[in-house]
C-alpha cells in the first residue's frame, strides 16, 4: 500500500461539504486518516459493479440520500446517519435511486472495484 501524499488534516472535516466538492460520481476522495485506515467521501448515482474485498471489511455511512447495498442474500437500505459494515469477502454492489452521498472507511490502498478492476476503478488515495 502506498504512502499518502497528503498530511492528515488538523481541522475538523465537514463530511457533507467535502462530498459536494467532488466533481463526478463514483470517485472516492480521502478526507482523513486514522492509523492505516482512510475516511473517504463519495457521491453515487445509479448502480456500481458487483465486487468484493477479500482482505478487509468495509464500512459505509450515509450522509445524504438513500444507499442500497446489494448482497448475495438480498439488499439493505440505509438513510442519513446509518452505518453498515460489509464483511470481508462478501460480494456487494452499492446503488442509489437518484443521488446519495456517503462516507466509506477502509484500509489505505483498497480499490473501489476490489479485485474486479475495469473501467470503473477510480484513482486511489486522492485527497480532497
Residue 11 as a binder of a copy of itself (CB under 8 A): the answer is yes
Q: Which three cell numbers stand for residue 110?
A: 483498497
| Given 26, 29, 30, 31, the residue binding a copy of itself (CB under 8 A) | 31
> Is the CB of 1 or the CB of 13 nearer to a copy of itself?
13
Residue 34 as a binder of a copy of itself (CB under 8 A): the answer is yes
> Is the CB of 6 or the CB of 83 nearer to a copy of itself?
83
> What sign does the dihedral 33-34-35-36 (CA atoms) show?
negative
| Kind plus residue range of the DSSP H or E element containing 29 | strand 29-34
Exposure string for 23-46, b = 16+ CB within 10 A, e = fewer: eeebbbbbbbbeeeebbbbbbbee
Residue 57 as a binder of a copy of itself (CB under 8 A): the answer is yes
- CB of residue 29 vs a copy of itself: minimum separation in angstroms? 13
Euclidean distance between the first and the last CA atom of the chain, given in angstroms as a whole number? 19
Give contact residues for a copy of itself (rule: CB under 8 A): 8, 10-16, 31-35, 37, 39, 56-59, 61, 63, 76-78, 81-85, 87-88, 103, 105-107
Amino acid at each position: 500500500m502506498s504512502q499518502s501524499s497528503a498530511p492528515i488534516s488538523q481541522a475538523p472535516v465537514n463530511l457533507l461539504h467535502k462530498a459536494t466538492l467532488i466533481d463526478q460520481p463514483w470517485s472516492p476522495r480521502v478526507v482523513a486518516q486514522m492509523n492505516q485506515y482512510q475516511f473517504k467521501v463519495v457521491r453515487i448515482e445509479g448502480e456500481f459493479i458487483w465486487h468484493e474485498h477479500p482482505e478487509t471489511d468495509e464500512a459505509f455511512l450515509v450522509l445524504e440520500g438513500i444507499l442500497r447495498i446489494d448482497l448475495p442474500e438480498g439488499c439493505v437500505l440505509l438513510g442519513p446517519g446509518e452505518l453498515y459494515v460489509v464483511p470481508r469477502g462478501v460480494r456487494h454492489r452499492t446503488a442509489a435511486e437518484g443521488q446519495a452521498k456517503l462516507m466509506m472507511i477502509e484500509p489505505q490502498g483498497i480499490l473501489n472495484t476490489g479485485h474486479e478492476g475495469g473501467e470503473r476503478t477510480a484513482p486511489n488515495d486522492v485527497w480532497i
